[in-house]
Amino acid sequence: MDKYIRRLIADIRESRTKIVPPDMAVWEFADVENEAEVEDLAYVQETIYGKPEPLSVITDIETGYLPVDDVLTPEQKSLLARELEALLNHYNFYADFPVNFPDEKKYKLLRAVWDSERVYVSFGRAEIVFCNFDIKTCPFIGYCDICEEMEKEMREGPKADDTDISIEDLLPL
């Protein structure tokens, strides 16, 4: 399996060398140094003009090439997760994991979304979100407490300091 993993990593790294040109004419005149402009144009590209394709097609790494979680050692899962995240970042996709979530556990989630359809954006960020903020299906139990906080707020209502906003606070100075 180690030989196969080494070959797969070589293929992943080869995919990271590809330069994908912007597919929208609007990027031709964009100021890619202007973060707000890039964010706006990436949103337009993703939501209006984008053509969804599986991550496996965008990255040229077929899902079938990624071993199932059960046949890998924890070290192999960690290594592949780091390589897949770097590959996704190359294509402007960013996996939304809690800061302390182990690489070993990331692999299974990344492989599970590899056939999901996404829109490639030439610049900016396209987030890959794994949690739907329902504690019953949260993949990050023990690593993130947002679902627990949301459930608590649903039961108890917002904290007193969350509602202490006056209309003056919202008006420009």
Structure confidence by residue, pLDDT tens digits, 19-49: 776 665 666 666 767 777 767 666 666 666 6
Cα angle 79, 84, 89 (rounded to 5 degrees) comes to 130
162, pLDDT greater than 60:
no
* Averaged confidence pLDDT in the chain: 83
Average pLDDT over residues 68-89: 96
* Three-state SS annotation for the chain: CHHHHHHHHHHHHHHCCCCCCCCCHHHHHCCCCCHHHHHHHHHHHHHHHCCCEEHHHHHCCCHHHCCCHHHCCHHHHHHHHHHHHHHHHHCCEEEECCCCCCHHHHHHHHHHHCCCEECCCCCCCEEEECCCCCCCCCCCCCCCCHHHHHHHHHHHCCCHHHCCCCHHHHCCC
Average pLDDT over residues 9-28: 78
pLDDT at 152: 77
C-alpha closest to that of 5 among 74, 60, 59: 74
Average pLDDT over residues 77-103: 94
Per-residue pLDDT tens digits for 106-124: 999 999 999 999 887 776 7
Please state whether the predicted TM-score (pTM) of the whole model is above 0.85. no
pLDDT at 35: 75
pLDDT at 59: 93
